[in-house]
Amino acid sequence: MTEPAASERLEVCIRTRALSLWYGDFQALRRVTLDVKQGLITGLIGPSGCGKTTLLRCFNRINERYGNVTTEGDITILGKNVYDSNVSLSELRKTVGMVFQRPNPLPISIYRNVLFGLRIHTRRSDLPRAQRDELVESSLREVDLWDDVKDKLRMKATRLTLEQQQKLCIARLLPLKPRVILMDEPCSALDAEGTEKIESLLETLREKYTVVIVTHNMAQARRASDECIFMLLGEVVEHGPTSEIFFNPRHEKTEMYIQGRYG
């Protein structure tokens, strides 16, 4: 998936139409139709088991790793249907990066962690040392981690704090030049201080990337997202600006969930 020219940039980054998904006989998504705008942070909210993470994993087709998965409908990202026969999963996952609930740095050095995706997804692992050093520094600076680790780049990444590990996992995506970053409960393993730092980082990421974040934390969704999508039983109930979802919801089910009356 190549980056479109500036004149071809779309207001809508991710578009789904009548998207349904089954795990075996269980239907997890039901005819989901929505548009995710470019350059915004969009929160996916709803009770456990409502389909948030399943929908998130559809955007880079990672659900297909689990087997026995059937999908119907369309997903278009940056104007390209991700289910087209000529779509390379490797290229898709470079364009649409993902950060998981619990930080998952590799048990290798911080330096090698940052370059790991580049080595796996491209043939650029033989870059001159100066270029590799520049990529590592720029990626770590972008996630506000450089000053903390610049003198210990050879240290095992697993020795970092959980908050630093999660920042590193984001930094690992950046040499691949993604357009979209998916985040599945990125703060669930962090304390309040770590959560605050990741949320602050989200503000910076918004300037360059389209971010979709799954969260059970309503306060976080309200603070960190521009728009929210409320899901229930595999369906989209409501999608709109976060302020409207939280303070003037159109649907009773949304209001009940926001008020903590179920879920």
DSSP readout, 105-137? --SSBHHHHHHHHHHHHSSGGG--HHHHHHHHH
DSSP, res 159 = G
**Mean pLDDT calculated for residue range 11-24:** 96
Q: Output the pLDDT for position 6.
A: 39
Mean pLDDT across the chain: 92
**Is pLDDT of 124 > 70?**
no
In one-letter notation, the amino acid at residue 44 is: L
Written as six digits, the tokens of 28 are 């997890």
Closest by CA position to 40, among listed 177, 239, 173: 239
Per-residue confidence band for 263, with pLDDT thresholds at 50, 70 and 90: low
**Mean pLDDT calculated for residue range 232-244:** 97
Provide the residue count of the chain. 263
Greatest alpha-carbon pair distance for the chain in Å reads 58
**Mean pLDDT calculated for residue range 121-141:** 85
Q: Output the pLDDT for position 4.
A: 46
**Is pLDDT of 5 > 80?**
no
Percent of the chain at pLDDT exceeding 70: 94
Q: How many angstroms separate the CA atoms of 103 and 155, rounded?
A: 17
Per-residue confidence band for 195, with pLDDT thresholds at 50, 70 and 90: very high
Distances (CA, A) of 132 to 9, 78, 82: 30, 28, 30
Per-residue confidence band for 122, with pLDDT thresholds at 50, 70 and 90: low
**Is pLDDT of 125 > 70?**
no
Q: Output the pLDDT for position 261.
A: 79
**Is pLDDT of 1 > 70?**
no
**Mean pLDDT calculated for residue range 221-230:** 96
Lowest-pLDDT range of 115-119, 133-137, 163-167: 115-119
DSSP, res 168 = H
**Mean pLDDT calculated for residue range 46-57:** 96
Q: For the domain bounded by 6-105+180-258, which CATH number is listed?
A: 3.40.50.300
Q: Output the pLDDT for position 76.
A: 97
**Is pLDDT of 86 > 50?**
yes
**Is pLDDT of 8 > 70?**
no
CB-CB neighbours of 128 under 10 Å:
8
pTM: 0.92
E-strand ranges in 148-232 read 180-184, 210-214, 227-232
**Mean pLDDT calculated for residue range 176-198:** 94
Per-residue confidence band for 67, with pLDDT thresholds at 50, 70 and 90: confident
Per-residue confidence band for 34, with pLDDT thresholds at 50, 70 and 90: very high
**Mean pLDDT calculated for residue range 137-141:** 97
